[in-house]
């Protein structure tokens, strides 16, 4: 019990506001965050992987956040049987209130109320929990939004309803799998009896600090994935839009969740040249075939020594490359390995899938050299809720409008 991370204390690591400081003094009453008593404060702050993520903010955490090492996507349906419309709405509201309370506690290192193992959340592992609603729930709340309409069918997909659309999505990410799985279990325990789980999709990238932040990850084909993802303000714009052109709600966004099976055994048969050709980038260092370092642009005009296009027209990056700013999406995916296969949990955040994910995926479905080894088996879309201020619960604004 001397291990520093096991001790919640009243010391406050978050911002310097007076309210926060007072809250910290009062942490016995649940406002401060657990932190490491024995760890020198400087260390706790400097190591980005041993921090608590903030719950309150303009946006929900876990969206723009550089992907943590581990993720669980929890999709569940709400039990509505026999309920009147007003009761259904009330049910969604109480679920969002409970989730907000549970999440606020978990990400600050306290267990949820009635937690039987609160110690498991004491370690600061940059846990984020991000909540979204399926289109049916938006409709119920009178908030239907064209941005969150059902995705059209795409050529070649073999969708399994097990990984299909659910009423709720809870994306849980953390640097530490034990902390993550405790959080998932705590959230699920509280949802038991009021929702039914459709899927739990577990994903991983690399242990924190084994890859440089912002450099993507190795997917299960061995490729460096995420190189040409938008960064900084471009990412924020692609995900949330701006004041003139927000997503379905200001500070809200849309999550497209696709489960893509990758045939690793067949991929084994492909040699390096074939692999690099299919992607348009080198497996070795991620550099594009139109250049020789990772940061070189994907140049579709570039030709090789034989005068042929350096990147084939049907290479994945050639087909996926956004043709305009509106097509840019932020891919925040994870590898998965399950009993029934391996692949990519493709999770993209974008302001409006109709101008980004859908046209890009239509192009890829039509022609992409990688398609030979990949199959889309799951698909869902969610309205991700805006962030909340202290004292608010997630989605609160949806209820003041509809009741």
Partner 1 sequence: MKNFKFATTLTICAAVLLSGCAQNTDAVTPAGASEQVQSTQAENLRTNETWAKAAEKGMSAAFGTLHNAGESKLELERVTDLSANTVIEIHDTEGQGTKAAMKQHEGALLINPGEDVVLAPGGTHFMFMDLKSPLVASQTSTLQLEFSDGSKTQVQFPIRNFSGANESYHGSADEHEDHGSH
Contacts with ligand HEM by CB under 6 A lie at 216, 219, 221, 223-229, 258, 260, 262, 279, 281, 298, 316-317, 320-322, 343-344, 346, 357, 360-361, 364, 370, 374
Binding mask 186-215 for partner 1 (x = CB under 8 A): ---xxxxxx---------------------
The torsion of the CA quartet 211, 215, 219, 222, rounded to 10 degrees, works out to -80
Q: Is residue 83 a contact point for partner 1 (CB under 8 A)?
A: no
Judged by CB under 8 A, which of 47, 65, 77, 97 binds partner 1? Answer: 97
Binding mask 357-386 for partner 1 (x = CB under 8 A): ------------------------------
Per-residue x/- track, 113-142, partner 1 (CB under 8 A):
xx-x--------------------------
Burial (0-12, 13-18, 19+ Cβ within 10 Å), 259:
buried
Q: What is the Cα 201 distance to its own chain's centre?
A: 12
Task: Output 94 or 284, the one with its CB closest to partner 1.
Answer: 94
Nearest-angstrom CA–CA distance, 182 and 165: 25
Q: Where are the alpha helices (DSSP H) in 85-221?
A: 85-107, 135-140, 177-191
Q: What is the closest distance, in whole angstroms, from the C-beta atom of residue 223 to ligand HEM in the complex? A: 4
Alpha helices in 40-134 (DSSP H): 41-46, 85-107
Q: Tell the smallest beta-carbon distance from residue 74 to ligand HEM (Å).
A: 21
* Nearest in space to 342 (alpha carbons), one of 229, 266, 228: 266
**Residue 152 CB coordination number (10 Å):** 10
Distance of CA 73 to the CA centre of its chain: 8
In the three-class reduction of DSSP (H, G, I as helix; E, B as strand; rest coil), residue 254 is classed as strand
30 part of the interface to partner 1, by CB under 8 A: yes
Run of H or E including 148: none
Query: What is the Cα–Cα distance from 180 to 106, expressed in whole angstroms?
Result: 10
Return the number of the residue (24 or 280) whose C-beta is nearest partner 1: 24
364 binds, among ligand HEM, partner 1, none (CB under 5 to 8 A by kind): ligand HEM
Residues 6+ apart with CB under 8 A from 306: none
79/206 with CB nearer partner 1 = 79
- Told to check if 7 binds partner 1 by CB under 8 A, we report no
320 binds, among partner 1, ligand HEM, none (CB under 5 to 8 A by kind): ligand HEM
Cβ proximity to ligand HEM, 227 vs 402, nearer residue: 227
């Amino acid at each position: 019990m001397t291990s520093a991370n096991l001790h919640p204390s009243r010391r406050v690591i978050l911002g310097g506001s007076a309210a926060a400081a007072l809250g910290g003094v009062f942490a016995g009453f649940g406002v401060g965050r657990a932190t490491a008593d024995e760890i020198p404060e400087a260390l706790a702050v400097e190591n980005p992987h041993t921090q608590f993520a903030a719950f309150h903010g303009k946006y929900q955490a876990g969206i723009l956040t550089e992907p943590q090492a581990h993720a669980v996507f929890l999709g569940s349906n709400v039990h509505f049987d026999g309920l009147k419309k007003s009761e259904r709405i009330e049910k969604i509201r109480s679920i969002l209130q409970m989730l907000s309370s549970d999440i606020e506690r978990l990400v600050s290192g306290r267990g949820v109320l009635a937690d039987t193992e609160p110690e498991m959340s004491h370690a600061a592992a940059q846990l984020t929990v991000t909540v979204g609603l399926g289109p049916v729930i938006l409709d119920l709340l009178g908030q239907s939004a064209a941005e969150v309409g059902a995705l059209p069918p795409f050529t070649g997909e073999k969708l399994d309803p097990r990984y299909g659309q659910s009423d709720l999505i809870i994306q849980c990410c953390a640097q530490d799998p034990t902390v993550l799985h405790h959080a998932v279990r705590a959230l699920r325990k509280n949802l038991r009896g009021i929702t039914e789980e459709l899927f739990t999709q577990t994903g991983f990238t690399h242990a924190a600090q084994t890859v440089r932040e912002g450099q993507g990850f190795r997917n299960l084909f061995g490729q460096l994935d995420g190189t040409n993802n938008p960064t900084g303000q471009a990412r924020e714009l692609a995900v949330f839009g701006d004041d003139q052109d927000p997503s379905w709600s200001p500070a809200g966004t849309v999550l497209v969740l696709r489960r893509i099976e990758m045939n690793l055994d067949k991929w084994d048969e492909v040699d390096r040249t074939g692999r690099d050709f299919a992607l348009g980038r080198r497996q070795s260092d991620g550099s594009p075939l139109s250049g020789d370092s990772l940061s070189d642009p994907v140049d579709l005009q570039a030709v090789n020594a034989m005068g042929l296009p350096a990147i084939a027209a049907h290479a994945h990056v050639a087909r996926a490359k956004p043709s305009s700013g509106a097509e840019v999406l932020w891919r925040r995916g994870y590898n998965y390995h399950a009993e029934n296969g391996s692949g990519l949990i493709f999770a993209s955040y974008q302001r409006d899938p109709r101008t980004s994910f859908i046209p890009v995926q239509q192009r890829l479905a039509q022609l992409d050299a990688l398609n030979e080894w990949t199959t889309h088996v799951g698909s869902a879309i969610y309205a991700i809720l805006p962030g909340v201020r202290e004292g608010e619960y997630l989605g609160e604004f949806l209820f003041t409008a509809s009741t």
